């Protein structure tokens, strides 16, 4: 709630939480935690194109620049340090899918852990930028919603989420990834 409140002050369009009479964002309703936030116009898009992806990227960059001025910290509960716990929780249940999946996941985790970067640019990330959390109004980007997973991590982590979430169609085929690869190669 604090992140959305501060982002709205930096002109990042997102739900703005409303404070109660005691100045708190969170309230209890029938023993459940709740909050009232402002309405964000628009809805998600069913189909993307390179122009829309560019707008999303530009606004993610604005979010990251604005968040540099915000002094909040929350650990990323889905980052590398938590993966071992997830693997332990899965345990041998993965054998239902494939007999060797558990050992494959453990070996892959160790390889990733050994090669995990240490000094990439970091800051506050949204960490859930799937298309249903990106709103468009009158055919233009309008704002981000659902900051539940927002946390501090590498900015490249955010980029990886966006590529996985926005650059493939439902059947897993490359969507805009070829164009992205071409653009990266042009910049080299």
187 in helix, strand or coil? helix
Q: Judge whether residue 120 has pLDDT over 70.
A: yes
Average pLDDT of the segment spanning 45-57: 86
Q: If pLDDT is split at 50, 70 and 90, which confidence band does 50 have?
A: confident
β-bridge partners, 144: 134
pTM check: above 0.85 = no
- CATH number of the domain residue 167 falls in: 3.90.1200.10
Write the CB contacts of 34 (distance below 8 Å, at least 6 apart in sequence).
Answer: 26, 27, 28
Contact yes or no for 128/148 (Cβ under 8 A): yes
Structural domains in the chain (count): 1
Q: Is the pLDDT of residue 79 over 60?
A: yes
* Beta-carbon-side half-sphere exposure of residue 49 (alpha carbons within 13 Å): 3
Q: Work out whether strand 32-34 and strand 122-125 pair parallel, antiparallel, or are unpaired.
A: unpaired
Neighbours of 112 (CB within 10 A): 11
Q: Which two tokens stand for residue 69?
A: 């001025």
What's the pLDDT score for residue 144? 96
CA distances, 50 to each of 80, 107, 155 (Å)? 30, 36, 21
Domain membership of residue 58 as a residue range: 2-187
CA-based nearest residue to 74, from 143, 8, 144, 126: 126
Predicted confidence at residue 48, as pLDDT, reads 83
pLDDT digits (tens, 9 = 90+) for 82-98: 999 999 998 888 888 88
The maximal CA–CA distance of the chain, rounded, in angstroms, is: 57
Task: Specify the pairing of strand 151-154 against strand 32-34.
Answer: unpaired
Each residue's pLDDT tens digit, 134-148:
999 998 999 999 999
């Amino acid at each position: 709630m604090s992140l959305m409140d501060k982002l709205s002050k930096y002109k990042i369009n997102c739900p703005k939480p409303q404070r109660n009479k005691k100045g708190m964002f969170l309230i209890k309703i029938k023993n459940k935690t709740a909050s009232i936030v402002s309405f964000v116009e628009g809805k998600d898009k069913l189909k993307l194109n390179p122009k829309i992806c560019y707008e999303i990227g530009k606004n993610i960059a604005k979010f990251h620049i604005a968040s540099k001025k915000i002094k909040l910290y929350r650990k990323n509960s889905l980052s590398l340090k938590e993966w071992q716990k997830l693997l332990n929780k899965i345990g041998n249940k993965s054998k239902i899918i494939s007999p060797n999946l558990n050992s494959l996941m453990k070996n892959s985790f160790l390889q990733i852990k050994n090669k995990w970067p240490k000094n990439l640019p970091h800051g506050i990330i949204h960490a859930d930028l799937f298309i249903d959390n990106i709103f468009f109004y009158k055919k233009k980007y309008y704002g981000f919603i659902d900051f539940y997973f927002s946390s501090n991590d590498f900015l490249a982590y955010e980029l990886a989420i966006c590529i996985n979430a926005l650059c493939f169609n439902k059947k897993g085929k490359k969507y805009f990834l070829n164009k992205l690869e071409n653009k990266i190669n042009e910049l080299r």
